[in-house]
A and B are shown apart, each in its own frame.
Chain A
Amino acid sequence: MNNFRIEKFVGVGLLLIVWEIVARYKLLFFLGIIKMEGLAFPPTIPSVVEAFYQDVLDGTMTLSISYSIMHLLIGLIGAVLLGIPLGILTGWSKRAEYIIDPIIQVMRPIPPLAWIPIAIMIFGLTHQAAGFIIFIGAFFPVMVNTYSGVRGTDRKLVEMAKTLGANEMNLLTKVVLPYSMPMITSGVRISLGVGWMCVVAAEMFGVSKYGLGWKIPYYSNIFMYDHVFSYMLVLGLIGYGMDIIFKRFESWKLRWRETI
């Protein structure tokens, strides 16, 4: 157990050391990757920490995190409310699958970024528009996973339930749904991750001047990479944290599963 933890830190630690050396001695310029000597890229680790600290002090960090999480929630809730029922429908009824699935398969590859003009047209420059972009990203994983779970329901369980007297509604609520719950929660977890990755696309058109997805392009444009990295790290760490929390919730909820 001890060894395992040390290795985790070695990887990150090594990366930080290399980064700091490259930053401090402007190695990227000397290797010809960066053309302007004065450009502070990559930013030194202390400068990133300083930038982070500044933003925390004047409140922009907290505000940005809140806005981004709000946009995520709008999109995620929409994805779950629409994705789970659609997944159940297409998983349970072959006819529904034939009708709905082609539409889904064509829309799935379109990146959320491409939906921005439509989002603005329908919702204006509002938080709902940002949430919509996240919805586009988060919808497909949860729907597809729900579909898989429902369609893959063990036939024997269904037959057993039938002999015990279950009607169609019972089968759905008491057999199919509980059986599919691991797939569904897994789908929601993936949606959470994908939705969070869409935060930049969702916020870059400027619904607000706060939001992690807004700040990153903004600071990139003015070449202030210490802030860029600071916000990028926050973005990554929060995504990681949310995933861990959700995994905890998942294993609590699904404690009936055999532990492998």
Chain B
Amino acid sequence: MLRIIRLTKKFDSYTVLEDVSLEVNDGEFVCIVGPSGCGKTTLLRMAAGLDFPTKGELFLDDRRIDGVNKECGFVFQEYVLFPWRTVKGNIEFGPEVKGVPVEERERISQHYIDLVGLKGFENHYPHELSGGMKQRVGIARAYANNPKLLLMDEPFGALDAQTRNLMQGELLRIWEEEHISALFVTHSVDEAVYLADRVVVLSANPGTIKEIFKIDLSRPRVRTSPEANALRDAILKSLGTEIKRAAERK
């Protein structure tokens, strides 16, 4: 379980996040939406231990996050695959540096390659893959790291609309196999409503929690159901004022 307690982040005199408190329960899928520059990515990075709070603390399963968090699985929008490693090599990276023996590593990577639907592509290099396939590798790699928490920063932002929809479904399918807590940042309210158990709306700078919406719909969800639409409208409205405020500030 991830606990974020009164988190404030300043870069010099510029306050990105102010007094943010949030809990992500075990097995929960939480989406964060907000205008550009509201600190969504910074929040995620601090959960990963790549950045440090100015005030406040973060805890993962009662252990304070202090330095790079090796128990999370990070998925970037730009894939950030190791180009000199094959699909298999990328996925095995985490276990490899943790000293997992070869046969075990093979088993793990093969399991996730199958899970994300990339069977047959084990020995391909990243540059030979499409965007969607690359992100599958990114997800598989995150999972292979045996994480307690998945951190995803607009992972489908670089894909075309159709692939994006497809990948959302794939992500859910994979996630349901192994139900790991997930914190997912996105610009797309549609995406948030489709994927998340809860949607957190962040306000414009400084970023604070404006509203949290609970999505009580059972999965697989129908994107255009009346309940989904209602939620989407509500979230969009909440978000809309923030976007305006962010634009005015500039």
Chain A residues near B (Cβ < 8 Å): 154, 156-157, 159-167, 170, 174-175, 178-179, 181, 255-258
- Cross-chain contact B125 with A256 (CB below 8 angstroms): yes
Q: For residue B80, which residues in chain A have a CB less than 8 angstroms away from its CB?
A: 154, 156-157, 160
Which residues from chain B contact A179 at a C-beta distance below 8 Å? 84
CA distance A166 to B98 in the complex (A): 8
Interface centre among B50, B72, B73 (most CB of A within 10 A): B50
Q: Is B145 close to A, CB under 8 A?
A: yes
A166→B69 CA distance, assembly (Å): 11
Complex CA–CA separation, A257 to B125 (angstroms):
9
State whether B127 touches A163 (Cβ < 8 A). Answer: no
Interface size class, chain B: 20 to 34
Q: How far is the CA of A178 from the CA of B94 in the complex (A)?
A: 16
Shortest CB-to-CB span from B2 to chain A, Å, is 15
Q: Which of B's residues lie within 8 Å of A, judged by CB? A: 48-50, 68-70, 72-74, 76, 78, 80, 82-85, 93-94, 96-98, 125-127, 141, 145
* Selected contact of B97 from candidates A164, A255, A256, A257, CB within 8 Å: A164
For A178, the closest partner residue in chain B by CB is: B84
- In the bound assembly, the distance between CA atoms of A154 and B68 in angstroms comes to 17
Contact across chains for B84 and A170 when beta carbons are under 8 A apart? no
By the criterion CB–CB under 8 Å, are A165 and B98 in contact? yes
The 8 Å CB contact of B93, one of A154, A156, A174, is A174
Interface class of chain B by DSSP: loop
CB of B83 to closest CB in A, whole Å = 6
**A254 nearest in chain B by CB position:** B84
B49 to chain A, nearest CB (A): 8
**Contact (A160, B97) CB under 8 Å given A256-B84, A256-B125, A257-B127:** no
Instruction: Pick the residue among B48, B76, B78, B93 that contacts A161 (CB under 8 A).
Output: B93
Q: Would A162 and B68 count as touching, CB distance under 8 A?
A: yes
User: Are A163 and B84 within 8 A (Cβ)?
Assistant: no
Complex partner residue of B76 from A156, A166, A175, A258, CB under 8 angstroms: A156
Q: Is the CB of A163 within 8 A of B82?
A: no
B98 near A163: Cβ-Cβ < 8 Å: no
Kindly report which residue of chain B lies nearest to residue A170, judged by CB atoms. Answer: B97
Write the nearest CB–CB distance from B140 to chain A, whole angstroms.
Answer: 12
Residues on the A chain within 8 Å of B74, using CB: 159-160, 163
User: Are A157 and B69 interface neighbours, CB within 8 A?
Assistant: no
User: Bound state CA distance, A163 and B50, in angstroms?
Assistant: 8
Distance of A33 Cα from B84 Cα, bound (Å): 56
In the bound assembly, the distance between CA atoms of A61 and B50 in angstroms comes to 61
Q: Which residues from A are CB-within-8-Å of B84?
A: 178-179, 181, 256
9 contacts between A and B (CB under 8 A): A156-B76, A160-B80, A163-B49, A163-B69, A164-B94, A166-B97, A167-B97, A174-B96, A256-B84
Of all chain B residues, the one with the shortest Cβ separation from A182 is B84
Report the bound CA distance from A162 to B68 in whole Å.
7
Most chain B C-beta atoms within 10 Å of own C-beta, residue among A154, A167, A174, A179: A174
